[in-house]
């Protein structure tokens, strides 16, 4: 006799299915009850907003979060060495001076502004002077540029302002025309001169400026004492201006000389402006000038009087001859973009007539160039 089959509703599988269905229905009912108040509130808010109200409400919040994230990211974030470099660069931004009573050149922009200032790591090179790189074309363009004044200056003689009749050995020319502020700041005893040199015994220009009432700071690592004051307006400092600060990992007593960047010196001295910056750095001038441009220190300077040396590329300037001359030219064009104009040039015929170790292009190995910042106030 065949065994009698059990009814389907008495099977274990059937009961399990019923239990699962009951649990699922309970969960659905619970979720609907909890979501109903939120959906009602959202619907009421949507009816209270005008057309597109949700878009207008969420837009600024999203952009704000994005801007906050961008404000906290430094260039090269994610790379340890780049993050370290960024933190190192921040130390010489002149935040302390911006908080001073003297107005800064560039006011702080609000968060999210498209004009947020970025750190520059290199100058923008100018196009080649010819379709293909050529030393001849680069040299001719560069030499024409440094020997052609861009603006006229009628008064460049300090004797008209002082009683000092001694002749200055080198033509450290400054522009004293009334249209520029330097002559007025000298007469009102408010000007400041920084002189950068390396064991130079020609101090007549600095003395003449100090006698006129200008505050003069002379930086020379060969000075015996750290700081020496000569007279009422002339200070000598045992410091050498460089294009980088010393490595903090090296103890100060192990360093060969006391070197600092000009931006660091300005911060430490509490100076916001330099009316005249004179530099005779014996081939270090190219990298120092590059540093002043990259850190926007040139915007705090009224006039530049630089002795440039072109008998070799200069300290830490690399590349073949045509590349080096293109780099020199690009630096000077950066000054022009900062509204500096060349008003005087002097070709030193007493120095060897050499251009990148060659007797070529009828060039001297040394030129003294004077620029004025036409936006200087």
- Over residues 244-263, the pLDDT tens digits come to 776 555 545 444 557 899 99
Q: Output the pTM of the full model.
A: 0.66
For 18-43, what is the mean pLDDT? 60
% the chain with pLDDT above 70: 64
Q: Are 265 and 239 in contact (CB under 8 A)?
A: yes
Looking at per-residue confidence, does 164 or 101 come out higher?
Answer: 164
For 119-125, what is the mean pLDDT? 86
Looking at per-residue confidence, does 108 or 129 come out higher?
Answer: 129
For 36-65, what is the mean pLDDT? 41
Closest CA to 374 of 305, 283, 303: 303
The values of phi and psi at residue 56, to 5°, are -70, -30
The answer, yes or no, to whether residue 347 has pLDDT greater than 60, is yes
DSSP result, 43-90: HHHHHHS-TTHHHHHHHHHHHHHHHHHHHHPPTTTT-HHHHHHHHHHH
Task: Give the pLDDT of residue 25.
Answer: 72
Q: pLDDT band at residue 19, thresholds of 50, 70 and 90?
A: confident
Task: Give the pLDDT of residue 221.
Answer: 86
Among the four given CATH numbers 3.30.70, 3.10.530, 3.40.50, 3.30.450, the one describing domain 135-245+258-373 = 3.40.50
The answer, yes or no, to whether residue 61 has pLDDT greater than 50, is no
Paired sense of beta strands 215-219 and 234-237, if any:
parallel
The values of phi and psi at residue 258, to 5°, are -90, 105
Q: In 218-238, which positions are buried (b, 16+ CB within 10 angstroms) versus exposed (e)?
A: bbbbebeeeeeeeeebbbbbb
The answer, yes or no, to whether residue 332 has pLDDT greater than 60, is yes
The answer, yes or no, to whether residue 179 has pLDDT greater than 50, is yes
Q: CA-to-CA distance for 375 and 339, rounded, in angstroms? A: 7
Q: CA-to-CA distance for 195 and 247, rounded, in angstroms? A: 24
Q: Phi-psi region for residue 78, left (φ > 0), alpha (ψ -120 to 50) or beta? A: left
Task: Give the pLDDT of residue 18.
Answer: 75
DSSP result, 289-332: HHHHHHTTGGGGEEEEEEEEE-SS--TT--S-HHHHHHHHHHHH
Q: Where in the chain are the domains?
A: 135-245+258-373
Residues 6+ apart with CB under 8 A from 285: 279, 306, 307, 308, 309, 314
For 108-115, what is the mean pLDDT? 38
Q: What token pair was written down for 130?
A: 């010819």
Task: Give the pLDDT of residue 197.
Answer: 87
The values of phi and psi at residue 200, to 5°, are -90, 135
Mean pLDDT of the chain: 76
CA atoms within 13 A on the CB side of 295: 25
Q: Are 287 and 315 in contact (CB under 8 A)?
A: yes
């Amino acid at each position: 006799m065949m065994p009698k089959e059990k009814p389907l509703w008495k099977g274990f599988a059937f009961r399990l299915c019923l239990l699962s269905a009951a649990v699922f229905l309970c969960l659905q009912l619970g979720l609907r009850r909890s979501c109903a108040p939120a959906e009602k509130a959202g619907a009421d808010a949507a009816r209270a907003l005008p057309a597109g109200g949700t878009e207008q409400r969420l837009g600024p919040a999203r952009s704000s979060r994005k801007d906050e994230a961008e404000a906290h990211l430094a260039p090269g974030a994610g790379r340890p060495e780049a993050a370290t470099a960024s933190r190192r660069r921040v130390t010489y931004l002149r935040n302390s001076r911006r908080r001073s009573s003297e107005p800064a050149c560039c006011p702080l922009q609000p968060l999210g502004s498209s004009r947020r200032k970025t750190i520059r790591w290199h100058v923008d090179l100018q196009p080649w002077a010819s379709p293909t790189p050529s030393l001849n074309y680069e040299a001719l363009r560069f030499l024409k540029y440094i020997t052609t004044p861009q603006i006229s200056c009628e008064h460049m003689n300090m004797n008209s302002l002082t009683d000092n009749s001694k002749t200055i050995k080198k033509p450290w020319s400054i522009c004293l025309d009334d249209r520029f502020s330097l002559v007025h700041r000298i007469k009102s005893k408010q000007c400041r001169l920084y002189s950068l040199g390396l064991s130079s015994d020609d101090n007549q220009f600095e003395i003449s400026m100090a006698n006129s009432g200008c505050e003069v700071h002379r930086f020379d690592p060969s000075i015996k004492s750290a700081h020496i004051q000569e007279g009422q307006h002339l200070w000598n400092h045992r410091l050498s201006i460089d294009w980088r600060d010393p490595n903090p990992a090296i103890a100060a007593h192990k360093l060969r000389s006391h070197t600092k960047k000009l931006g660091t010196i300005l911060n430490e001295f509490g100076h916001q402006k330099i009316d005249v910056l004179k530099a005779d750095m014996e081939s270090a001038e190219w990298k120092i000038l590059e540093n002043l441009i990259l850190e926007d220190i040139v915007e705090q300077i009224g006039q530049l009087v630089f002795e440039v040396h072109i008998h070799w590329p200069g300290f830490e300037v690399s590349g073949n001859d045509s590349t080096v001359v293109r780099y020199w030219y690009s630096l000077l064009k950066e000054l022009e973009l900062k509204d500096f104009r060349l008003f005087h040039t002097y070709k030193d015929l007493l120095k060897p007539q050499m251009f990148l170790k060659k007797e070529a292009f009828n060039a001297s190995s040394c030129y003294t160039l004077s620029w004025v910042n036409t936006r200087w106030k």
